[in-house]
Every structure is written in C-alpha cells, then in structure tokens.
Amino acid sequence: MRQKHDEWFFTGAKAMSGTFDGADAADGDSVNPPFTADLTDTGHGLLANSLLYVQGSTNYNGLRKIKSLPDANSMLIYAKFVAETLAGTETWKTMFSYDQFVQGELRPGAPFEFMGFYLTLDAAASTASEEFTITIDADKGAAWDNRIYTKDMNGQQHINFMFDAPKQCASGDKLNCVFANANTNTWGLTLFTRSLV
C-alpha cells in the first residue's frame, strides 16, 4: 500500500524569497511551548501560517512555520529562541525538504517524491512577464541541480499541475520555488510530496 502524500503550504504577497535584516533575533516566547522566535526582514511580504525555509543562520536553519506577524517587518516563527545576531546575509525561501533536526543539528532527511503543486494568485491573473520556477536544489551540489518546472506567469491566476510520474528526490534535496511577483499579488502555493522512508 502506498504511503499517503504530504501537503506543504506557503503564502505571501511579494516575492517568494528574501534576505533577513542584520538584526538580533528576538525572544517570542521561550516559556510556553510551542516556543517562538522573532526574525526581521523589512517588508518581507509573507503571511501568517506560511512555511518558509531559512538558510545561513546559526540557529534557525530549515523548514519553519510563521505563527504571526507582529508588524510588516517581523515574523514570529515556531522555533526555540537562541540569541543570534543575523549578519544580513541569511535568507528565507519558498523551499521544501524533509531535513530534520538531530541533537540540535540540521541533517538531510528522507528521500522523497515530488508529485506536483497548486499555485493561486488571489484576485487576478499576473500582468507581468516573469517566470515561476521549481528547481531541485540537489544535496550533492550545484552540478546536480535540476529545474523541473517553468511557467511565464503573465496571464496566469491558477496553476494545478501534477507530474505524469513523480520526480525523485534524494535525501537532502530541496524543492526551491521562485517567483518575483512584481504585481504583488497575494499567492498561495501547495506542494505535494511523499516521503520514501
């Protein structure tokens, strides 16, 4: 019997990636679980309950979920607070992986299948000629990165796409979704995956 698929939800109103400000991480709530920490990216455009993937941080790397948005520049994520001053080079992306934390260290997770996705723009189709892309960011290195989907978003509002055969992803591979979103449409993206472990 095949394992049930997993669904991963991302949403925002600007680009699908950003860079954190050079600023201190703040304690959201380190007393009452689930714990939260506050990170800053001025005008990030992400929306509450979205997932995001943090890279370049000492303490917050990996797939995270936004609990709430204290203001337009801050995001309260589910994570145990650890004091850290971000350098302004750390990034967040609309990215997925089965990476996991083991004894406080982020390690490659299960190999998986990527079955497809739904992408919706809230009120109207995009009027900008810019691509939405999905690339397998290979754990083996850039030489193995593979763009598996590209679509010019001009005139697009809803995309419901399932691969004829699921794309096979190795342990540690990541799905990196990119869209500049010049029209600042509110977007919702659902990725469908299945762990192979």
Whether 115 and 190 share a structural domain: yes
- Do 183 and 130 share a structural domain? yes
Q: Are residues 39 and 120 in the same domain?
A: no
Q: Is residue 1 part of a domain?
A: no
Give the pLDDT band (50/70/90) at residue 3. Answer: low
Domain count within the chain: 2
Spatial distance between the Cα atoms of 169 and 166, rounded to a whole number of angstroms? 9
Name the nearest CA neighbour of 179 among 123, 95, 61. 95
Q: Write the pLDDT tens digit of every residue in 127-178.
A: 999 999 999 999 999 999 999 999 999 999 999 999 999 999 999 999 999 9
Residue 51 inside a domain? The answer is yes
Q: Could you tell me the CATH number of the domain that includes residue 177?
A: 2.60.120
Give domain status of residue 52, yes or no.
yes
The pLDDT tens digits for 71-127 are: 999 999 999 999 999 999 999 999 999 998 766 678 889 999 999 999 999 988 999
> Which of 30, 60, 91 is the last residue in one of the domains?
91
Which residues have a Cβ under 8 Å from the Cβ of 22 and sit 6 or more positions away? 85, 86, 87, 88
Same structural domain, 189 and 120: yes
Q: How far apart are CA 172 and CA 174, in angstroms?
A: 6
